[in-house]
């Protein structure tokens, strides 16, 4: 039988690892459970991605992050968080998904795809990258449609439709274009988003202006077919030839899981979880929220750089409550 732990941390991303570092420093009996690889969300970022934040703003636990340039790449961040994990001998179980979480007699029973655990406290640091927003149009389930983008070479000399105007969409459009793809971008708004990285936005705007990348603004995908895509535009329905659809429509946190375990959510469209801003403890005593999930559907309000402090607040509160 597994011993009762002081804290189970669900989610092995940067904030989950930051919580683990604080738990270890305070000599708590802890474990990180991650359903994918280490820092799963970052692993699923595009291979050539460069962060908007500088390396020092991505640091956790006071461990320096040294990168080749001011703004680190995806590969540098993977190496950094792996080295932090190894150097600190953090305890974690990867490729193990939490299925249920139940509180009984002041303790939590956590059932995963591999075993059961018991803990006095639980930290939810599950991020928001696992559940894409769907287009909800006919043909979205075709094999040619993806909500994740990794490498541009795959799309060389193909007709590619990119949906969205975020950083991810713009990166996919520019990179596949430069590998020889015939790229069309569909944007619901009237222009490329203002949140796009400032050194990238002029590039995509210029490529659209010169016609190298075709763009439909104030438009949406109506339906997807084996060899074509129908687009609803201000001028009416347009059909274009197509081989692949990269739908970079954004992602959402798993708020349904929070609801199932009893965490209260706001009634508005943000659906922000109920938690104490000073301690990050939810309405359920012993369940804490860390990282992006604290913002509910407002996933643009919290990042690694302004969520790192959550770990200190949470562990300080757990230690105080346990009288450690």
Indicate if 67 and 144 belong to the same structural domain: no
For 45, phi then psi, to 5°, come to -65, 160
Q: Which two tokens stand for residue 6?
A: 């002081």
Strand partners, 183: 160
pTM score: 0.89
* Strands, E assignment, 79-158: 92-93, 98-104, 107-112, 116-124, 131-132, 145-146
Inter-residue contact 171 to 50 (CB < 8 Å) = no
Same domain, 194 and 293: no
Residue 136 φ then ψ, to 5°: 55, 50
For 311, how many CA atoms within 13 A lie in the half-sphere containing its CB?
28
Question: How would you write the pLDDT of the chain (324 residues) with one tens digit per residue?
Answer: 578 999 999 999 999 999 999 999 999 999 999 999 999 989 988 888 888 888 998 999 888 999 988 899 999 999 999 999 999 999 999 999 999 999 999 999 999 999 999 999 999 999 887 788 899 999 999 999 999 999 999 999 999 999 998 888 999 999 999 999 999 999 999 999 888 888 899 999 999 999 999 999 999 999 999 999 999 999 999 999 999 999 999 888 899 999 999 999 999 889 999 999 999 999 999 999 999 999 888 877 767 777 889 999 999 999 998 864
Q: Does 282 lie in the same domain as 211? A: no
Q: How many domains does the chain have?
A: 2
283 and 177 part of one domain: no
**Same structural domain, 191 and 294:** no
22 and 74 belong to one structural domain: yes
At residue 308, φ and ψ (nearest 5 deg) are -60, -35
Nearest to residue 222, comparing CAs of 209, 231, 212? 231
Predicted pLDDT of residue 1: 56
Which DSSP symbol is given to 315?
H
- Strand 236-241: give its sheet, edge to edge: 220-224, 228-233, 236-241
Q: Do both 194 and 118 map to the same domain?
A: no
CATH number at residue 182: 3.50.50.60
Residues 113 and 149 in one domain: no
Q: Which of 247, 273, 289 is the last residue of a domain?
A: 247
Phi, psi values for residue 82, rounded to 5°: -65, -45
Task: For residue 42, give every residue at least 6 positions away whose Cβ sits within 8 Å of its Cβ, in sequence order, or none.
Answer: 13, 14, 74, 77, 78, 81
Q: Is 141 exposed, middle or buried (0-12, 13-18, 19+ CB in 10 A)?
A: exposed
Cβ atoms within 10 Å of 320's Cβ, excluding its own: 10
Which among 222, 262, 261, 228 is positioned nearest to 243, based on CA atoms?
228
The predicted structure's pLDDT at residue 323:
65
Question: Is residue 70 domain-shared with residue 171, that is, in the same domain?
Answer: no
66 and 115 in a single domain? The answer is: yes
**Strand, coil or helix: 265:** strand
Task: Look up the domain containing 149 and give its range.
Answer: 134-247
Which DSSP symbol is given to 301? S
Out of 212, 247, 282, a domain closes at 247
- Among 199, 227, 247, the domain-final residue is 247
Same domain, 17 and 113: yes
Q: What is the pLDDT of residue 234?
A: 96
Q: Would the CA dihedral through 182, 188, 194, 197 be positive or negative?
A: negative
Q: Residues with Cβ < 8 Å from 262, sequence gap 6 or more?
A: 103, 283, 284
Same domain, 182 and 236: yes
pLDDT at 311: 95
């Amino acid at each position: 039988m597994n011993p009762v732990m002081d804290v189970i941390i669900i989610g092995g991303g940067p904030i989950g690892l930051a919580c683990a570092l604080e738990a270890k420093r305070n000599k708590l009996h802890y474990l990180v459970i991650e359903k994918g690889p280490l820092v799963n969300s970052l692993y699923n970022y595009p291979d050539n991605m460069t962060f908007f934040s500088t390396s020092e703003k991505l640091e956790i636990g006071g461990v320096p992050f040294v990168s080749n340039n001011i703004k680190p790449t995806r590969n540098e961040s993977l190496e950094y968080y792996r080295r932090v994990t190894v150097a600190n001998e953090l305890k974690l179980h990867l490729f193990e998904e939490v299925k249920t979480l139940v509180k009984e007699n002041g303790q939590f029973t956590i059932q995963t795809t591999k075993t059961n655990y018991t803990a006095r406290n639980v930290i939810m640091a599950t991020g928001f990258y696992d559940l894409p927003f769907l287009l909800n149009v006919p043909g979205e389930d075709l094999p040619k449609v993806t909500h994740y983008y990794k490498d541009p070479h795959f799309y060389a000399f193909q007709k590619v439709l990119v949906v969205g105007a975020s950083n991810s969409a713009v990166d996919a459009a520019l990179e596949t274009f430069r590998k020889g793809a015939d790229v069309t971008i569909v944007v619901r708004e009237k222009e490329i988003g203002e949140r796009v990285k400032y050194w990238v936005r002029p590039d995509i705007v210029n490529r659209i202006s010169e016609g190298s990348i075709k763009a439909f603004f104030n438009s949406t995908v109506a339906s997807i077919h084996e060899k074509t895509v129908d687009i609803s535009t201000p001028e009416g329905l347009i059909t274009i030839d197509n081989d692949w659809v990269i739908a970079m429509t954004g992602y959402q946190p798993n708020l349904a899981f929070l609801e199932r375990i009893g965490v209260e959510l706001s009634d508005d469209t943000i659906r922000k979880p109920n938690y104490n801003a000073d301690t990050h403890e939810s309405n359920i005593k012993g369940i804490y929220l860390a990282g992006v999930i604290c913002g509910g559907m407002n996933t643009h309000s919290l990042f690694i750089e302004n969520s790192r402090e959550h770990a200190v607040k949470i562990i300080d509160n757990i230690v105080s409550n346990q009288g450690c």
